[in-house]
Copies of this chain bind each other. A is one copy, B any other.
Amino acid sequence: MEERMSGFFIAKAGNVRGGGGGGNNAGTGTKCGRWNPTTEQVKVLTDLFRSGLRTPSTDQIQKISSQLSLYGKIESKNVFYWFQNHKARERQKRRRVSVGEKNVIRRQDIFSSSARYYSELDLGSEPERVLETLQLFPVNSFRDSESEKLKLRRNECKEAHAFSYTCSTEMDHPPLDLRLSSCKQASDL
């Protein structure tokens, strides 16, 4: 993945404690072993993401990071990682959340309450805060969004394994059988 970055970072990136800053960090004022994005930085990044930017190119990363450096200490790799993580986590989150009630048979609580108590992050309730820097970015990376939909799961049937633990320790719960049958289980092993 770093081949496209031309190696403008990825060195060792130790502690880049900006002692002279005195307030560059986010409100928490943590020990700064790693990048602590300020609210403005997060806002800009989130806005860019919402605008469709998912995999910025090297040039875009440069531009973004230099622009964001005005709000606080930041490096190019931070921007790179931010987009990587944000994209991956959005997908992961959707995946993990979606399965919540796909195959869950609730015997006692059929659609009672239990609303989405946690889906509150960026994409959901983020208001339209189009800041001034947003328009400057060309949102030409929309085609990247569709490429992700076309990809297929590579961890489908890597190892069809069934596990059931019924002999580990004293158990009060019934012997739970957690058969993993991702693709198909032709014959049980």
Contact = CB atoms under 8 A, between A and B. Distances in A.
Interface of A: 2, 4-19, 23-24, 26-30, 32-33, 39-40, 43-44, 47-48, 50-51, 53, 57-67, 69-71, 73, 75-77, 80, 93, 95-97, 99-100, 103-109, 112, 114-121, 125, 131-133, 136-140, 142, 155-173, 176-180, 182-189
Contacts of A105: 70
23 contacts: A2-B29, A5-B27, A6-B28, A7-B27, A11-B121, A15-B157, A15-B160, A15-B161, A19-B162, A58-B96, A60-B178, A63-B178, A66-B99, A66-B104, A70-B106, A75-B100, A75-B118, A75-B164, A75-B167, A133-B168, A136-B177, A138-B159, A140-B187
A117 B177 contact: no
A28 B50 CA distance: 36
A27 to B, nearest CB: 3
Complex copy number for this chain: 2
Contacts of A168: 47, 50-51, 66, 69, 131, 133
Nearest to A103: B66
**Main secondary structure on chain A at its contact with chain B?**
loop
B69 A139 contact: no
Nearest to A172: B43
A171 to B, nearest CB: 5
Contacts of A77: 93, 96-97
